[in-house]
């Protein structure tokens, strides 16, 4: 964290401590069917969501690409053993060592936010909940829908290793069948699965993940890349370049704004990844893609529902798991 970010956090911390948000609330707690609940921290840390949103906004102002990074970070955490903040653990065998987590970044943001939360509410809020809230706020702060999420997740005390992450995280070459099966395991409908992939609305894709779409003859037969897009991608991701692992291309022209442009591009054949090109032609997903391309509100509605389901699947609650004081260690 650089000096300006440290100063921002100090200011934020004093605002939290000195403000009146620490008072009690009268919000009714609604329980989720898996141990989570809306209003979970209303008594133990009523200022939590204010802290997380303010801190997340600070980081996004410093680096707008942080929104996509936090959203991806949450998805990768939730896909492996549920949303338990295990992706934040640093160890030789940790899931971050998985090749599938290549390019995952900004994990330190969650630890920084956690330090502010700890100052206000020591040892009460899990890193898992902070990660979900930061990802949720990243969507809203980038122009997407505000999403009400149930809370009460606990952190893993037995995080998975990179081998499990390798087996559970989808490859960049995943097609419609694999993608729908993956999200169905999390309880998502086909519509919600198409919507959650719309997270590609923000951020960029590493060149190593677009090469099949560009240079593989089978992939090109499945979905021809428009000539202007092919020229742009080839310019940024030339075949044989040694920088493919670090070079990126924007997912669309509004890569810092959470909108339905992803689907507009997909319908016109301008999707960057294989799944972007496959969904508009598959009869199971084509209707949803076209509807989201013309109706952003419908996309936002389905994405919000999918976000809640994905972030609530197979979570640790109650006496299971722990509350970690430092998100990057088990303590």
| Residues with active-site annotation | 76
Residues 6+ apart with CB under 8 A from 97: 161, 162, 165
User: What distance in Å separates the CA atoms of residue 129 and residue 29, rounded to the nearest whole number?
Assistant: 16
Radius of gyration of the chain (CA): 20
Residue entry with tokens 């299971």: 320
User: What distance in Å separates the CA atoms of residue 79 and residue 209, rounded to the nearest whole number?
Assistant: 19
> How many residues make up the chain in this entry?
331
Residues 6+ apart with CB under 8 A from 144: 201, 258, 259, 300, 303
- Describe the crossing of helices 127-141 and 107-120 by its angle, rounded to 10 degrees: 110
Residues 6+ apart with CB under 8 A from 10: none
């Amino acid at each position: 964290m650089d000096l300006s970010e440290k100063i921002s956090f100090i200011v934020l911390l004093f605002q939290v401590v000195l403000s009146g948000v620490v008072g009690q609330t009268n919000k009714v707690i609604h329980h989720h069917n898996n141990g989570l609940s809306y209003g979970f921290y209303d008594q133990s840390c009523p200022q939590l969501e204010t802290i997380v949103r303010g801190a997340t906004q600070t980081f996004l102002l410093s680096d707008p690409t942080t929104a996509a990074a936090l959203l991806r970070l949450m998805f990768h955490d939730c896909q492996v053993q549920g949303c338990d903040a295990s992706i934040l653990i640093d160890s030789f065998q940790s899931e971050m060592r998985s090749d599938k987590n290549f390019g995952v970044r900004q994990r330190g943001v969650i630890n920084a936010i956690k330090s502010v939360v700890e100052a206000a509410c020591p040892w009460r809020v899990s890193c898992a909940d902070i990660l979900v809230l930061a990802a949720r706020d990243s969507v809203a702060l980038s122009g997407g829908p505000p999403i009400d999420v149930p809370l009460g997740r606990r952190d893993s005390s037995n995080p998975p290793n990179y081998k499990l992450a390798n087996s559970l995280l989808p490859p960049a070459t995943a097609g419609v069948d694999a993608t729908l099966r993956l999200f169905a395991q999390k309880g998502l409908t086909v519509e919600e699965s198409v919507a959650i992939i719309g997270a590609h609305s923000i951020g960029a894709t590493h060149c190593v993940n677009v090469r099949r779409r560009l240079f593989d003859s089978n992939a090109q037969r499945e979905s021809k890349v428009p000539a202007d897009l092919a020229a742009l991608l080839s310019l940024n991701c030339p075949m044989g370049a040694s920088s493919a692992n670090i070079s990126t291309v924007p997912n669309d022209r509004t890569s810092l704004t959470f909108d339905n442009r992803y689907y507009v591009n997909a319908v016109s054949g301008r999707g960057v990844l294989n799944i972007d090109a496959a969904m508009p032609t598959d009869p199971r997903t084509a209707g949803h893609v076209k509807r989201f391309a013309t109706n952003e509100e419908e996309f936002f509605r389905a994405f919000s529902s999918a976000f809640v389901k994905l972030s609530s699947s197979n979570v640790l609650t109650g006496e299971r798991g722990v509350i970690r004081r430092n998100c990057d260690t088990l303590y």
